[in-house]
Amino acid sequence: MPKITASEARSILTPQKVGALSGSYSYSLNPYRGCAFGCSYCYAKEFTHDDQLEASWGKWVRPKINAPELVYKSSRKLAFASVFISSATDPYQPIERQYRLTRSCLEVMLSMFPGPSKIHIHTRSPFVVDDIELLQAFGDRLEVYMSITTDNDEFRKIFEPHAPSIHKRLEALHALRSAGIITGASVSPLLPCNPYNLAMLLSGVAERVYIDTIRFPKAKGYGLELYRQHYFDRFLDSSYFKSVVEAFVDTLGAERVHWRSRLEIDKVRS
């Protein structure tokens, strides 16, 4: 159980002027700092700018209890804006069922006129289905992408031991899509998998799929040691990424598959 420390934030919207989200999103919105899932490869811990917090990633969460109020105060900024929820935490991690900060922020945005023109929710938690009726109310302004990094739950347990099972995530995507919500899958970061099997699992529940390679900002603490420990180095080769993309394009069609490779393994092999 992570240590929970409620706090007030000074701001809740982060402008996306550079980086992977720039050009597609006006702002990112993170109702929590930290994440109870604590996935080994998570890049977000790099941005804590605190060695102790980075090393203990997954063992602490700080709810931004004034997040809904800050969203309300940002109504002018959010008019016709595109918002990514969330870039540095999981908006539907277990603590959301206690604090309901993500839900409250969405309720505030739904009440705005004019409100955001696009809302993208990125999660790996099946708890997102708690808010199906609220998500439906946004119509085609809102989409939910589920992070599904492998088809093998044994591999998931190695890299994401505290995250929900792959089966539960697929069930959540099915429920969302059945409710008419735009759905997608984020195979990011790409972990060891059976490419064609994973593509088939996603074919009926995700309208679009995004694939990206794993990133190691540092040699230790971001999952590289797990690859070495389990003799998974072959999955870090660019040919593996290419084979996965080809399998998804063959199965889903090129129009439903988007990919980006940022692998910089040579910089951290030593």
Query: For residues 180 and 137, what is the distance between their CA atoms, to the nearest angstrom?
Result: 10
pLDDT at site 83: 98
Residue 269 reports pLDDT greater than 60: no
Grade residue 215 by pLDDT with cuts at 50, 70 and 90: confident
Which residues are CB-contacts of 250 (< 8 A; sequence separation ≥ 6)?
196, 199
Structural tokens at position 144: 């939910």
Is pLDDT at 188 greater than 60 in this prediction?
yes
pLDDT digits (tens, 9 = 90+) for 96-115: 999 999 999 999 999 999 99
Can you tell me the distance from the alpha carbon of 224 to that of 204, in angstroms, rounded to the nearest whole number? 32
Collapsed DSSP state (helix, strand, coil) of residue 44: helix
* DSSP type of residue 195: H
What is the predicted pLDDT for the residue at 262?
Answer: 64
pLDDT bin (cut points 50, 70, 90) of residue 265 is very low
pLDDT digits (tens, 9 = 90+) for 52-66: 999 999 999 999 999
pLDDT > 90? residue 120: yes
Q: Is the pLDDT of residue 268 over 60?
A: no
Band of residue 263 on the pLDDT scale cut at 50, 70, 90? low
Mean pLDDT of 196-224: 94
d(CA 227, CA 233): 6
Helix H or strand E encompassing 145 = strand 142-147
